[in-house]
Amino acid sequence: MSSVALSTIALTFACASLTMLGEPCHAETMVFTNQANPVFNTGNAKIVFVDAVEALEAQISEGLPADPSQAAAEAKRRMEGPSGRRFINGMRDAQQGVADAWSLQVEKLPAVVVDRAYVTYGISDVGAAEQLIASSREARKP
């Protein structure tokens, strides 16, 4: 049996156990926000700043010389060093976050998405948003 299958079985068992104890079980919580909408009580949620691309671009270009050829040389030097690798990794993650928000059809910020299926908007307290979703899911059970 593959490690993915074993992980899925373990997660399913853990969720079933928590559910029997009356505890909500969230396989995945993602929070989509921006710098203007801070969130708190995030627990283990994945936080995605949808404005991270712009922030990274501003950061990497900060302090570049006004002369275009000097700016190009400095930008190349930055990109070839450790800060360039961090920038590339950060940009990849930021763009993936924007793609996730788009694919999940996030409409407003902040958005707390549980299990890629349940969403609350406008709640900065992530724990409270998760509890609201859990209560709603519980109320809909037959």
**From CA 33, how far away is CA 12, in angstroms rounded?**
29
Using the structure block, give the residue that is written with the tokens 């900060």: 62
pLDDT at site 17:
45
Residues with Cβ within 8 Å of 104's Cβ and at least 6 positions away in sequence, in order, are 30, 32, 113, 116, 119
- Give percent above pLDDT 90 in the chain: 70
Q: Which of 129, 100, 137 is nearest to 37 (CA)?
A: 129
Spell out the SS3 assignment of 57-87: HHHHHCCCCCCHHHHHHHHHHHHHCHHHHHH
Tens digits of per-residue pLDDT, 96-109? 999 999 999 999 99
Indicate the domain borders of the chain: 27-139
Locate 141 and state its tokens. 């059970």
pLDDT at site 141:
84
**Which of 3.40.30, 3.10.530, 3.30.160, 1.10.3470 is the CATH number of 27-139?**
3.40.30
Residue 63, CB half-sphere, CA atoms under 13 Å: how many? 4
Q: Does residue 39 register a pLDDT over 60?
A: yes
